Chains A and B, each alone.
Chain A
């Protein structure tokens, strides 16, 4: 579990340069984003650079890593490295779609509930709490089992639809504390509507917080997707890191000692999610001077 400390809102103008100053000097931030960037590039360009269909059976099954097959081959002779680069791509797609949709819903619910207050807040808060309590994976199990999710994008969509509640709650609390600030009062007195105040006054003042929320949602989506894949409810089309783990487990890679089959996909998920979390800590330190090391 990762928490974000309350990000104290400050006037944006002078802060931005200072934030950048600390950002490029923050080892956590740079290392985290660096790792993610490398894997992202591999996922983006890998499938273009290395020709071949990842699930095609090959002629040399069960061979350990070699010059020809960098990450070895599966029981069916599939090239693990080829699956790996395609799987990376799916992982990023699920993260962006799932995290993005969850962030959008969470922001909408959080802003409206926090800014409007009153009965709107009561209703939205109740809805948030109800969905928050339902175990996400269990719901996704049912949905995926019945609907038979085919594509990575649709999987991301459903993950996004179930992931938003905690983000909504966090954003609601932040909005609540900003609502009574002077600059918001000023905007309200000058006749701005709710939407405009949220978009122009509130959201920019917690942009760093929103970005960090998205990062956590991204990581959460990746982890949930890999669990779904592993249970056998992954996308029926394409390759993903979770599906690779599932196949490895299903075809006894463990007992056969084929470590090259199950180590890379798990390591990649861990690296992406872990690097994002670490980058998030870095971001927190950049935007929240109290946390900087003195």
Chain B
């Protein structure tokens, strides 16, 4: 067992009250597993990603635990969490294009970053990994502004995984890229797992089609809660949760990317997480909602590794 998240609740503090961005998430991630985390924007998937590595100032853990390789992560203690960052948990951020300090050459930045974490730079290893993702070595002696978007993205990927973390969080890494680059990035991530640079990975995205290519397991989130989690093929071919089905139906065909706008094709909008209604949160948009949906559905394991939170599933 690599990662265990149990009953995790993380709220955002706002003026109007707490926004329950994560409201009782429980799931597991095995060694070597790539988990695709899918959902509309605002469903809590980014909050989950952030919670596992670095909460921002407005976020607050209300309950639940995160355990990585047998150690409980102090996710709401910024200082103690530093011991785990980079070494155990690492991040490829959404903003990879602007993640590199503009006034340092890459080599110097990497050296300084590693030294600050008490490690010396193994140039040979770094260059081998750069070769693996097709980055020329001259990149190390360039400033970030001299690199293309794709190069910056790959450079960040290499840097983030340099200390062989156990868990890698890839947060919307493909959303800013064109289709062919997306494929290359996905391939590179798979390569990282296969080479053992990372043990397991959470691939946060709103792109269900791309996730299908890379992930072993797909987890669909809705309004701060788990909707369905199953092996990638099962999610795509035999989804049980009505929300997952609607998501898939809104895809014109597998292999073609859908955008968030098309997702609005599902009538209605998610409930406010400020004061979410009782019962199933998808109820108001669900075509098959019934009486029992006024009660909150528990997450049930319908088949091995197939978890669904729906009375009708």
Contacts and interface: CB of A to CB of B under 8 A. Distances in A.
Interface of A: 18, 21, 294
Nearest to B16: A18
Interface in B52-89: 57-58
Contacts of B58: 294
A21 B57 contact: no
B15 A18 contact: yes
A294 B60 CA distance: 12
Nearest to B57: A294
4 contacts: A18-B15, A21-B15, A294-B57, A294-B58
Contacts of A21: 15
Interface of B: 15, 57-58
A108 B43 CA distance: 43
Contacts of B57: 294
A18 B57 CA distance: 19
A260 B15 CA distance: 49
B251 to A, nearest CB: 26
Contacts of A18: 15
Nearest to A18: B15
A181 B141 CA distance: 37
Does more than half of chain B's interface fall in helix, strand or loop, or is it mixed? loop
B10 to A, nearest CB: 16
Contacts of A294: 57-58
A18 B15 CA distance: 8
Contacts of B15: 18, 21
B23 to A, nearest CB: 23
A106 B108 CA distance: 42
A269 B233 CA distance: 73
A6 to B, nearest CB: 15
Nearest to A17: B15
Which A-B residue pairs are the 4 nearest by beta carbons? A294-B57, A18-B15, A21-B15, A294-B58
Nearest to B56: A294
Nearest to B14: A18
A107 B56 CA distance: 36
B50 to A, nearest CB: 15
Nearest to A21: B15
A21 B15 CA distance: 9
B11 to A, nearest CB: 15
A168 to B, nearest CB: 27
A21 B57 CA distance: 20
A16 to B, nearest CB: 13
A168 B268 CA distance: 44
A234 B58 CA distance: 52
A85 to B, nearest CB: 42
A83 to B, nearest CB: 48
A275 B58 CA distance: 30
A29 B274 CA distance: 30
A294 B55 CA distance: 13
B166 to A, nearest CB: 30
Nearest to A289: B58
Nearest to A22: B15
A95 B285 CA distance: 58
A208 to B, nearest CB: 18
A45 to B, nearest CB: 39
Nearest to B58: A294
A27 B57 CA distance: 21
A104 B125 CA distance: 60
A18 B16 CA distance: 10
A140 B282 CA distance: 68
A107 B294 CA distance: 56
A293 to B, nearest CB: 10
A294 B15 CA distance: 13
A152 B278 CA distance: 67
A104 B58 CA distance: 39
A198 B57 CA distance: 36
A66 to B, nearest CB: 53
A88 B276 CA distance: 56
A166 B58 CA distance: 35
A114 B18 CA distance: 40
A294 B57 CA distance: 7
